[in-house]
Amino acid sequence: MKKYISTFLLVILFYGCSTVPITGRKQISLVTTDQVLPASLAKYAKELKEQPLSKDREKTAMVKNIGNNLAAAVDKFLRENGKSAEADAYQWEFNLFENKEENAWCLPGGKVAVYSGLLPICKNEDGLAAVMGHEIAHAFAHHGEERMSEGMLAQLGGIAVAVGTANDDHAAIWNMAYGLGTGLGMLAFSRTHEKEADELGMVFMIMAGYDPEEAIHVWERMAARNKSHPPVILATHPSDQQRVNDLKAFLPKAKEYARKYM
């Protein structure tokens, strides 16, 4: 029975893997964006009902403009790499919420929220582009779907054992997926995901015409802020000197990647 279980899991791993563009990292892909999109859209609609939008027209326009520029960069990359269907699937929307929390997030499918409390840390349009690029990169790299896939894979292992002991627990897969789905897009991403989002976000902000140096500065400001009163965004986005060092080291590569698609 153990042999069959191992074979079962290996087949899932083999056929359920994909590659993140640009970084080339292999990821588990048992859940597609199409599968999580309904929950993502419902989550965003709920946030729009429960949270007030900013009445500051200038800042709202800034968020939307930066978001559209970054989305155009992502769209261009996808289409020039034979991924037009994926580009068409995004339903980009950018809103500034009137919320004192220092936070921002992007749900699968391209629904992006920026909280007004984060703007002082971003300081300028380039800083905001760095943060929004980072969040958009999570959606681009399908990090939310990957986390759900990892959770489902863990459940599959348990279910495979349960099958061998005549204990029918198939529903656990869907309970896991649903449980993760309730926090869709705002999961505590791993350091691997965070580093990848930093790198991808930097590439996209360069493509969109923003200064990538500011990506380094904005995370330095967040790290400094973290010493006394950490921004909410850092609850799931670890920020330390290593992160700043990684961004500095990646900057030449980011410029090289971006030049190919500008």
Place of tokens 């582009």: 129
For the chain, the domain total comes to 1
Q: Does residue 163 lie within any of the structural domains?
A: no
40 in a domain, yes or no? no
Residue whose structure tokens are 């292992």: 157
Domain hosting residue 83, numbered range: 53-141+188-259
182 occurs within a structural domain:
no
Considering the domain boundaries, does residue 175 fall inside one?
no
Position 260 scores a pLDDT of: 86
Contact call for residues 71 and 110 (beta carbons, < 8 A): yes
In a domain, 169, yes or no: no
Q: 118: number of CA atoms within 13 Å, CB side?
A: 25
The whole-angstrom separation of Cα 13 and Cα 1 is: 19
Q: Is residue 98 part of a domain?
A: yes
What beta strand segments (E) does 32-120 contain? 93-97, 104-107, 111-115
Q: Determine if residue 98 is left, alpha or beta; phi over 0 gives left, psi from -120 to 50 gives alpha, anything else beta.
A: beta
N-to-C CA span, the chain: 54
- Whether 168 is in a domain gets the answer no
Mean pLDDT by 10 residues, the chain (262 residues): 47 65 87 83 92 98 98 96 94 97 92 96 97 96 83 57 37 36 46 90 98 94 70 55 89 94 76
Identify which of 158, 177, 178 has the alpha carbon closest to the alpha carbon of residue 169. 158
- Report if residue 147 sits inside a domain: no
Provide the pLDDT for residue 225. Answer: 74
